[in-house]
Structure 1
Amino acid sequence: MRLGIAVDSRMCMACYCCFTACKDEHCGYASKLSAAQPMMGQYWIDVREWERGDDSRHIKTATVPTLCAHCQDPACAKVAKNGAVYKRPDGIVIIDPEKSKGQKAIADACPIGAVYWNEEYQIPQKCTMCAELLDDPEYLAYMGDPKFKVPRCVEACPNHALYFGDLDDPNSEISKAIAENRVTPLEPLAGKETNVKWLNVPTVFLAGTVYYPKETEEVVIGAKVKLTCKETGETWEAETNYFGDWEVEFLPKNKNIDVEITFKGYKPVKCSAHTDIDHYTGMTYLEKA
């Protein structure tokens, strides 16, 4: 059995229920697996948000709940002394609150900044995946059914953006969610095997708006948009909506993209863009063929 959490960024609405539930559970409460989480300065599950887009005509936001990845080969364990960081048989990575005293290098080693340094206690701290609750025979989540013990953050999410379960069981809900969605590891964790999986984290989008000839000021519905990556030849297709807008999401970063817009009875329009950032290519006006 290998326990894990899947985070579906697409479903997160930044309500911070997960964050609040984590604080409610761990602030002021210590266990043998961790000292109490401070009220301020630590985010064992951090809802990281940013604004996307370089033009006010097409702006989006992204929200990615971020917690300890519970790596299979943890960077924090490599710098820890005296076995201060260990991985349980179920895959959960734990920082021993006694053995880790004075070892700030453990916090510094985390590639995603999910391990925090407690200045008062002089120890590193992070998400325990609520292992102290999972180990407690008296803890019954989900209407008291012992089969559905989950971490507090998963239990609190109202939008089902967090999944918990056995990653080694292909029939578990979490395994099915991973199989059915786009797995998008956080960039610092690329190539690493982790027990927390991130799904549908956005990369880069290109977008634009298509109009008929400029004098009409009418948007085009159903124009075909084809994107081609110059470096790889990979292509993507889209179609303008009722507002004349088109968008292609999940593009590879730092590539040169050719954009071709076609609509029956009008001349094709071509332009190019670079995916260093989320980019709005602007308003395209068609001319009759």
Structure 2
Amino acid sequence: MKVFLYDLDKCNGCHNCQIACKDEHVGNDWSPYALPQPDTGQFWCKVDEEVCGSVPHVRVNYLPHQCNHCDDAPCIAVAPEAVHKRDDGLVLIDPDAAKDLRSLVDSCPYGAIFWNEELGLPQKCTGCAHLLDDGWAEPRCVDACCTGALRFGEEEDFAEELARAEVLLPQAGTRPRVHYLNKPKRFIAITMVDVEGDEVVEGAAVTLQRAEGAETVSVLATDEFGDAWFENLAPDCYRLRVQKEGYLDLACSFDVTEKDQAVAEMRFYRVPIAI
């Protein structure tokens, strides 16, 4: 059975996949696979951009979304007469049988099913099944990917990579057929500044621990720019401790359960000289 595999380290946010999907489906009637996609309001393939952190510690992440063609698809459970799973793993909505079935939109935990108001029916990514059945090896979105970030093929051919990949919303239990490699994790980034010397602090020891249990996660030294980056962190609360001879120890807390944290200027004070 087929799977989609995104390598997010290779995605540069070009949106070629998103544009190719629009080009293939807007204004084109591919019955019985799908009726035309509207010009606006629907993205059967969509690349979301997320700007993380703050200047000067910034990362830009790209996350493509589409129908996950789930093995335990909630849309099929809601309307088995209108939605079916092909032998190759693709899930299709029958545009005739799905007429007026607005409940299908709410059935998808990924928000991948859209309501076409003009046609009065739910629509989504078809995996370009019409092209595959016409001899194409891959859907338009995959064909348009210029970096090799998006691939499509037999599950067994990707077995090694799938063992390291993740899916979206695993808690939904839908067993998706869209997988992601190198999905970004949280980060904490700081720049240590000597307030009195008006310069960055190089070579300070920065220890990161989990807030609960005080487990040490990593120990770094600030670089020539006074920076320390802790990357690939699990969403959690952390404690950070900074030490360097001649300076007062500094401790602070960070919560990255919802978003990354960055401090452009963390003030480090020298040990007072006794008079």
Question: 8 Å contact 1:19–1:47 — kept in the other structure?
Answer: yes
Corresponding residue for residue 132 of structure 1: 130
Give the 3-state SS of the residue equivalent to 2:43 in structure 1: coil
Q: Report the counterpart of residue 78 of structure 1 in structure 2.
A: 77
Q: Structure 1: which 5+ residue stretches go unaligned?
A: 140-148
Summarize the alignment of residues 199-210 of structure 1 with structure 2, pairs less than 5 Å apart: 199-210=181-192
- Equivalent residue number for residue 38 of structure 2: 38
1:175 to partner: Cα distance: 3.5
TM-score, normalised relative to structure 1: 0.82
Output the amino acid matched with 1:30: D
- Compared CA separation, residues 136 and 210, structure 1 to 2 (3 A): same
Aligned to 2:114: 116
Looking at structure 2, the residues matched to 89 and 162 of structure 1 have their Cα atoms a distance apart, in angstroms, of 22
Cα deviation digits, residues 230-286 of structure 1 (max 9, x gap)? 336361344434422222233222x22011234567665322211232212442426
| In structure 1, distance between residues paired with 2:192 and 2:229 | 11
Q: Deviation per CA, 1:116-150, whole angstroms, max 9, x where unpaired?
A: 1111111111111112111113x4xxxxxxxxx11
Q: In 2, distance between residues paired with 1:110 and 1:91?
A: 17
Asked if the contact 2:11–2:149 (Cα under 8 Å) also holds between the matched residues in 1, the reply is yes
The 5 Å alignment of 1:1-289 reads 2-31=1-30, 32-53=32-53, 55-82=54-81, 84-137=82-135, 139=136, 149-167=137-155, 169=156, 172=157, 174-179=158-163, 183-187=165-169, 191-211=173-193, 213-231=194-212, 233=215, 235-253=217-235, 255-263=236-244, 268-275=249-256, 276-281=258-263, 282-285=265-268, 287=270
Question: 1:46: Cα distance to partner?
Answer: 0.7
How far did residue 104 of structure 1 move?
0.8
Mark the runs of 5 or more structure 2 residues left unpaired by the alignment: none
Say if 1:18 and 1:153, in contact at 8 Å, map to a contact too.
yes
Percent of residue pairs bearing the same amino acid type: 38
Cα distance, 1:63 vs. partner? 1.6
Asked if structure 2 preserves the Cα contact closer than 8 Å seen for 1:225 and 1:238, the reply is: yes
2: CA distance, partners of 1:132 / 1:231: 53
Assess, with a 3 A threshold, how the Cα gap between structure 1 residues 133 and 75 changes in structure 2: closer, same or farther: same
Letter of the structure 1 residue corresponding to residue 57 of structure 2: H
Give the number of the structure whose alpha-carbon radius of gyration is greater: 2
CA RMSD of aligned residues (A): 2.5
Separation of aligned partners in 2, 1:127 and 1:64: 16
- Structure with bigger strand share is 2
Measured at CA, do residues 215 and 234 of structure 1 come closer, stay the same or move farther in structure 2, by a change above 3 Å?
closer
Q: Between 32-41 and 16-25, report the one with greater CA deviation.
A: 32-41
Q: Secondary structure at the match of 1:21?
A: helix
- In 2, Cα distance between equivalents of 1:186 and 1:199: 11
Matched-pair contact (CA < 8 Å) for 2:4–2:178: yes
Deviates more, 1:4-13 or 1:183-192: 183-192
Alignment CA distance shift 1:199-1:101 (3 Å): same
2:39 aligns to what SS in structure 1?
coil
Distance 2:89 2:127 in 1: 10
Tell me the distance in 2 between the aligned counterparts of 1:266 and 1:185.
45
Q: Give the 3 Å change call, closer, same or farther, for CA 4–29 of structure 1 in structure 2.
A: same
Alpha-carbon deviation of 1:77?
1.2
